[in-house]
Amino acid sequence: MIDIALIRNNKEFVKENIKRKFQDHKLPLVDKAYELDIEARKYITKASDLRGKKNALSKQIGALYAAKKVEEANEIKKQIALIDQELLDLEVEEENTKKALKEIMMKIPNIIDETVPIGKDDSQNVEIKKYGEPALKPFEVPYHVEIMEKLHGIDLDSARKVAGNGFYYLMGDIARLHSAIISYARDFMIDRGFTYVVPPFMIRSDVVTGVMSFEEMDAMMYKIENEDLYLIGTSEHSMIGKFIDTILDEKDLPYVYTSYSPCFRKEKGAHGIEERGVYRIHQFEKQEMIVVCKPEDSKMWFEKLYQNTVDLFRSLDIPVRTLECCSGDLADLKSKSIDVEAWSPRQQKYFEVGSCSNLTDAQARRLGIRVNGEKGKYFAHTLNNTVVAPPRMLIAFLENNLNEDGSVNIPMVLQPYMGNKTKIK
């Protein structure tokens, strides 16, 4: 959520930002927010004038009683009673206006960073840098489910009977590999100074609407029936929610966390073969990074966060590249976002394995996360990034470490988490 002062002082700037995100249908929201803001401030001014009038009248009552002018004093009391009722009515109108204003403000996208490339959708995202040499195997790389099945590591048929499409059983060494990658990612981030956290896996609706847009909420979140609880789509949701309605001490910033959680997502829509298997699923596990910091530090942390993911994948001998998301591919709360993509020898192209986002103060405004600093209170900046998200990451791992005989090499850094095995056979 942006600052209402931006609309109050420069409506055209906010409208231009919406146009750059190719969301012209939201342009009328700016004018509506502008009008509601004026209306809300009129109520505040009128209420202030009435309180001043009430105070002046109240001071007269004592003097009138002292002068034994009881009727006049009682008449003033009636006037004060009318003012009190008018103030109550104004309070209701002001509250309703502010509520309507907030609902609109929560639909207006965050201001995108000036360095974001302008483009309509993800086809216009811009490659930044490649890390590692993409491998071309001297043999045909099978579909990732086939690799897992030959290693007796997956059962999709049973999962469909139990839970439907989009679920899986991981078994044996593949299940162990899945857990090993999560454990390695956890320790990797702890070694980089991040505090490890296991957060709640369900959150209330006020946290949901604080961390994401209404459109994302509808597309992603599973609601618990008859309860004000949602299953998290990523631990960022409950980790940022941890700070709801708090005033942080500036000297305690930044908060840098790495959190583990299962994640649950609707993942609506039909998908091609490469997005079936364990690529686009309703349930997975993830190691995440979250930072809450001062506004002037968020750019620095943004660069650190996505580099952490690059470094982790390169430590596992997986080639990756970074890709800057264009304006039309940014979710509404994001100011800037970079995807990390891993190389797929099977497809001979890169695919997304993580996303790093700077949300500036958008989440903080929605959740009421403020900082008490030397120059007064201000809203914190929040950032998040994927460390690693198996089982999708397993696709890149298996394809890049696959041998012609069907065995899979285990990189040295991962061997201690796999019982010192050097291969999965």
pLDDT computed for residue 269 by the predictor:
55
Task: Say what the pLDDT of residue 300 is.
Answer: 98
Cα angle: 345, vertex 399, 260; to 5 degrees: 120
225, 224, 235: which is closest to 263 by C-alpha?
235
Backbone angles phi, psi at 287, to 5 degrees: -105, 130
CATH of domain 4-105: 1.10.287.40
Parse the chain into domains and list their residue ranges. 4-105, 122-424
Local structure of 281: helix, strand or coil: coil
Mean pLDDT of the chain: 93
So what's the pLDDT on residue 276? 67
Question: DSSP character for 166?
Answer: T
The encoded tokens of residue 151 equal: 């290693």
Nearest to 213 by CA among 296, 115, 103, 121: 103
What pLDDT, on the 0 to 100 scale, is given for residue 327?
Answer: 97
Write down the pLDDT at residue 272: 52
pLDDT score for 367: 96
pLDDT of residue 268: 63
Q: Phi then psi for 116, rounded to 5 degrees?
A: -70, 130
* CATH ID of 122-424, from 3.30.365.10, 3.30.420.40, 1.10.10.10, 3.30.930.10: 3.30.930.10
pLDDT given for residue 270 in this prediction: 45
Measured in whole angstroms, the distance separating CA 364 from the mean position of its chain's CA atoms is 11
Reading the block at residue 147, the tokens are 């690799």
Of 383, 382, 384, 379, whose CA–CA distance to 365 is shortest?
A: 379
Q: Is 171 helix (H, G, I), strand (E, B) or coil?
A: coil
> C-alpha distances in angstroms, 370 versus 182, 276, 366, 397?
32, 42, 11, 41
Task: Report the relative pairing of strands 320-324 and 336-344 from DSSP bridges.
Answer: antiparallel
Token readout for 375 is 């120059």
**Does 122-424 match 4-105 at the fold level?**
no
DSSP 298: H
* Positions of the chain with pLDDT under 70: 268-276
